[in-house]
Amino acid sequence: RTVYVNGEYLPETEAKVSIFDRAFLMGDGVYEVTSVLDGKLIDFDGHAARLARSLKELDMQAPCTTEELLEIHRKLVEINGIEEGMVYLQVTRGAAADRDFVFPDPEEVKPTLVLFTQNKPGLADSPAAKKGIKVISIEDVRWGRRDIKTVQLLYPSMGKMMAKKAGVDDAWMVEDGFVTEGTSNNAYFIKGNKIVTRALSNDILHGITRAAVLRFAAEAQMEVEERNFTIAEAQAADEAFITSASTFVMPVVEIDGAALGDGAPGPRALRLREIYLEESR
Ligand code: PDD
């Protein structure tokens, strides 16, 4: 696979980043994951806008223009022949001369930019979407700026491990009794013709797929209610689902051992998935 590092397209085995890179030492980096369907980027503009926001919130320099980023995305997709999959992008504050908590002078230290592709044939026609996924709830102990897409993913990784140990697929995180989001996705339930999901704030990532799905809700004759909800309320719902660039709309069929409806993916979640795939392709 060919990857991109700071201006160069290289075989992945030859790509190098300094051990003093602040993302390696401090988790001082942000990222984006953009999906690819039919060899085309899905919602690139949304991801680019969120990246710009993450950089701004952390007072980090942009490594290049959005047009240049798009060019790099497209080139990597082409070189690696990706029909279905993802492009991962990471920007870090760069490699300072030594380990230091204080941010380096942006005049001296330039950001690091890394991109690579992930080939995922069958991403759209996913068997998981036909079966639905099971989740458990776990406490949300992450920091208070979850709206910034940082590479500090240790707790989400631990959450996925807790889910794996419990024999399920993922975990929904709960803070002060209310669901925030999934370990790497936004969380929703459906009751009647209403989609309920937590409102945007610093408590959750502002999902690009979330924005698209809520826009398309009207097309599915559904209403949207953005508010806090509990695990008990989601368990008592008709359907539930998650969204992310890597799963699109994925039905949730079980929460903490309680099956939703008849335990199969719900028709409305599947319809939303269909609409999302049609509209964004
Ligand atoms: N995760 N919430 C969290 C905590 C996430 O990590 C993600 C994305 C989302 C969904 O955002 P979007 O719809 O823009 O992908 C919500 C990516 C896919 C990842 O970490 O791999």
CB 245 less than 6 A from any atom of ligand 1:
yes
Using one digit for the tens of pLDDT, what is the confidence trace for 55-109? 999 999 999 999 999 999 999 999 999 999 999 999 999 999 999 999 999 999 9
Average pLDDT over residues 272-276: 97
Give residue 70's pLDDT.
98
**Domain enclosing residue 229, as ranges:** 127-280
Same domain, 22 and 159: no
Residue 190 near residue 269 (C-beta atoms within 8 A): yes
* Residues counted in the chain: 281
Position 32 scores a pLDDT of 99
Confidence of residue 112 (pLDDT cuts 50, 70, 90): very high
**Closest residue to atom 16 of ligand 1, CA basis:** 185
Residue 221, pLDDT score: 94
Last residue of a domain, one of 94, 119, 144: 119
pLDDT given for residue 93 in this prediction: 98
Tell whether 108 and 66 lie within a shared domain: yes
Do 115 and 225 have their domain in common? no
ipTM beyond cut 0.85: yes
Q: Domain boundary residue among 119, 141, 173?
A: 119
The answer on 112 and 137 residing in a single domain is no
Is there a single domain that holds both residue 96 and residue 144? no
**51 CA to centre of ligand 1 in angstroms:** 12
pLDDT band per the 50, 70, 90 thresholds, residue 199: very high
CATH number for 199: 3.20.10.10
Q: Based on the domain organization, do 148 and 275 belong to the same domain?
A: yes
**152 and 110 co-located in one domain:** no
Confidence (pLDDT) at 220: 93
pTM score:
0.98
The share of the chain scoring above pLDDT 90, in percent, equals 99
Q: Which H, E and C letters describe 95-159, residue by residue?
A: ECCCCCCCCCCCCCCCCEEEEEEEECCCCCCCHHHHHCEEEEEEECCCCCCCCCCECCCHHHHHH
| Residues with active-site annotation | 149
In whole angstroms, what is the distance from residue 17 CA to residue 153 CA? 19
CA of 110 to the centre of ligand 1 (A): 26
Q: What is the pLDDT of residue 257?
A: 98
Bridge partner list, 223? 194
- The reply to whether 72 and 201 lie within a common domain is no
Residue closest via CA to ligand 1's atom 11 equals: 207
Last residue of a domain, one of 86, 103, 119: 119
Testing ligand 1's pocket by substitution, the residue of 32, 173, 184, 248 carrying the most ligand atoms inside 8 A of its CB is 184
What's the pLDDT tens digit per position in 17-51? 999 999 999 999 999 999 999 999 999 999 999 99
Instruction: Give the Å distance between the CA of 107 and the centre of ligand 1.
Output: 32
- Measured in Å, residue 149 CA sits from the centre of ligand 1 at 8
Mean pLDDT of 166-187: 98
Q: What is the pLDDT of residue 74?
A: 98
Q: Is the CB of 210 under 6 A from ligand 1?
A: yes
Domain co-membership, 265 together with 170:
yes
Residue 112 and residue 152 share a domain: no
User: Quick one: 220 and 168 in the same domain?
Assistant: yes
Number of domains present in the structure of the chain: 2
Q: Which CATH number belongs to the domain containing residue 83 in this structure?
A: 3.30.470.10
Average pLDDT over residues 136-158: 98
274 and 147 assigned to the same domain? yes
237-254 pLDDT, tens per residue?
Answer: 999 999 999 999 999 999
